[in-house]
Amino acid sequence: MTVEKSKQKIITVDGPSGVGKGTICLLLSHQLGWPVLDSGALYRLTATAAMNDGISEDNHLALEKIAVELDVRFESTANGLRYLLRNEDVSETIRQEATGNMASKVAAVEGVRAALLDKQRSLATTDGLIADGRDMGTVVFPDAPLKIYLTASAEERAERRYKQLKDKGIDVNIRDLVADLTARDERDSNRKVAPLKPAEDAVIIDTTDLSVAEVEARVLQLAQQLFS
Ligand code: DC
């Protein structure tokens, strides 16, 4: 990649489920002082609203309407962001595996993606942005000066997710996790609209054998070359 100084302060971080995008984005956010756009949370919020309203994954028009009218607020707390959907705190609900699976289905609907596009772009400010998702570098911020694409084997990602859930006291079967992640990868990568794939100018980092600190250091080095 040719590295040139840029004024637009956006780093996109894309990659499959469970690869550690959220962790890396938070660390970058602390280092650079830039906010994070967790685009997955928007799809998870849409999925939560749909599940609350009893809307099925096949009812594309109703899902689109939910995304267009999405009534959400984000509040900063000492423990991170709090997500309010129609005034109800859904910060925990949106992180559940079932919500993630529904989010992946909802995210394949063209009208839903179109409705959420402007919401995502409006979060870019001159103060910088770290955008976490699947299509941040390809669709939402195609002109971002630094695009990162993280990968890791499905087994490694399932192992990481397993440890995370176990730490939270949630008991899951690792084989179910691998199956879930693989199904989600398939759906996210093969959908017609904005499929999961690296942008042509993305820096691809295979994190399978890297520590979090090593991944963070690599991205920070690139960011410093570009933005300092
Ligand atoms: O990153 P996550 O696990 O919170 O995302 C949940 C789902 O939302 C994911 O399976 C696919 C979808 N998603 C998407 O299609 N595009 C994004 N930019 C972010 C998430």
Q: Which atom of ligand 1 is nearest to the CA of 187?
A: 10
> Can you give the pLDDT at residue 20?
93
> Ligand 1 mean position to 45 CA, how many Å?
11
Bridge-partner residues for 36, per DSSP? 130
- Nearest to 182, CA basis, from 158, 165, 199: 158
Distance 184 CA to ligand 1 centre (A): 9
Which whole number is the average pLDDT over 128-141?
96
Q: Which residues contact 199 (CB under 8 A, 6 or more apart)?
A: 12, 14, 137, 138, 142, 147, 149
pLDDT at 80: 80
What residues does ligand 1 touch, defined as CB less than 6 Å away?
17, 39-40, 43-44, 100, 103-104, 107, 133-135, 184, 188
Closest CA to 73 of 86, 55, 92: 86
Q: Domain residues of the chain, as ranges?
A: 8-35+127-228, 40-122
Largest Cα separation within the chain, whole Å, is 49
Q: For residues 192 and 45, what is the distance between their CA atoms, to the nearest angstrom? A: 22
CATH class of domain segment(s) 8-35+127-228: alpha beta
- pLDDT tens digits along 176-203: 999 989 999 999 999 999 999 999 999 9
Taking CA atoms, 212 is separated from 97, 178, 217, 218, in Å, by 23, 21, 9, 10
Q: Point out the ligand 1 atom lying closest to the alpha carbon of residue 43.
A: 8
The tokens 């000492």 sit on which residue?
Answer: 78
Q: What is the DSSP letter of 132?
A: E
CA of residue 177 to ligand 1 center, whole Å: 16
pLDDT for 124: 81
Map residue 82 onto helix, strand or coil: strand
Q: How far is the CA of 228 from the centre of ligand 1 (A)?
A: 30
pLDDT, tens digit, 9 for 90 and up, residues 71-129: 999 888 887 889 999 999 999 999 988 999 999 999 999 999 999 998 999 888 788 99
Q: 142-169, pLDDT tens digit by residue? A: 999 999 999 999 999 999 989 988 888 8
Decide whether 8-35+127-228 matches 40-122 in CATH topology.
yes
Answer whether CATH 3.40.50.300 is correct for domain 40-122: yes
Q: How confident is the model over 38-63, as pLDDT tens digits?
A: 999 999 999 999 999 999 999 999 99
Closest-lying ligand 1 atom to the alpha carbon of residue 120? 18
Q: What is the structure's pLDDT at 3?
A: 44
- Could you tell me which residues come within 8 angstroms of residue 84 by beta carbon, excluding any fewer than 6 positions away? 72, 73, 74, 75, 90
Nearest CA to ligand 1 atom 7: 104
pLDDT at 126: 80
CA of residue 22 to ligand 1 center, whole Å: 11
pLDDT tens-digit map of 201-210: 999 999 999 9
Q: What is the pLDDT of residue 127?
A: 83
Q: What's the predicted TM-score (pTM) here?
A: 0.93
Q: What is the pLDDT of residues 1-30, one digit of tens each?
A: 444 545 689 999 999 999 999 999 999 999
